[in-house]
Amino acid sequence: MNKVKIYSRFERFWHWSQMVLILLLMITGFEIHSTFEAFGFETAVRLHSVAGWGFLILTIFAIFWMLVTGQSKQFVPVRNNVKQQAMYYLVGIFKKAPHPVKKTVDSKLNPLQRIIYFGLIILVFPVQLITGFAYLFFHYPDNPFTLEGLEAVAVLHTLGAFLLVAFVMAHLYLITTGHTVTSNLQAMITGYEELETEHETEISKN
């Protein structure tokens, strides 16, 4: 095992900034829905809007970075080893079986992670941004949606929020599935991770 720099400064900035914004959006969003009280309704609405703008700006920079650096390839789904990866998380990890796909600098995400992140980037994030800003700008009397349209927007936005909650919970668990409990977390802080440098298994692109 050799220490290899696997995450750039921007990747780490993107990851932690996105995490903070998603958590703030979740907390304020559920407060707006009267699930609990933390900031007060008006402050929660204001913070939710600011975090939404911040998330949009961060997403634009991230897309630009992925296209310019070619890192968008990291998020393209593949068909190889999907079943093996699922079985590893369901059974193999508890039997201390070896990871079916080795992480490399060119293949940082395993097949299931690729599918999940691709879905977030292509579907969940756009839906959240579109419905969030639609609700923000078109719920006033001078620019109203019809009642039915407004309800549909709110339901879609809330559904996306629950999907993000599920992702965050799964992500917190997966953080602990590296070669040590804290290795994945440390890698996202320092940028370096211990990787196998011989006989690496690359993810095929099919």
The pLDDT value recorded for residue 153 is 82
Dihedral, 17, 21, 22, 25 alpha carbons, nearest 10: 180
Q: Six-digit token pair at 23?
A: 């958590």
The pLDDT value recorded for residue 147 is 52
The pLDDT value recorded for residue 163 is 92
Dihedral, 143, 147, 153, 157 alpha carbons, nearest 10: 110
Domains identified in the chain and CATH numbers: 2-195 (1.20.950.20)
Name the stretches of the chain with pLDDT < 70. Answer: 1, 139-149, 196-206
Amino acid (one-letter) located at 58 = L
For every residue of 172-192, DSSP letters joined together read HHHGGGSSSTTHHHHHHHHSE
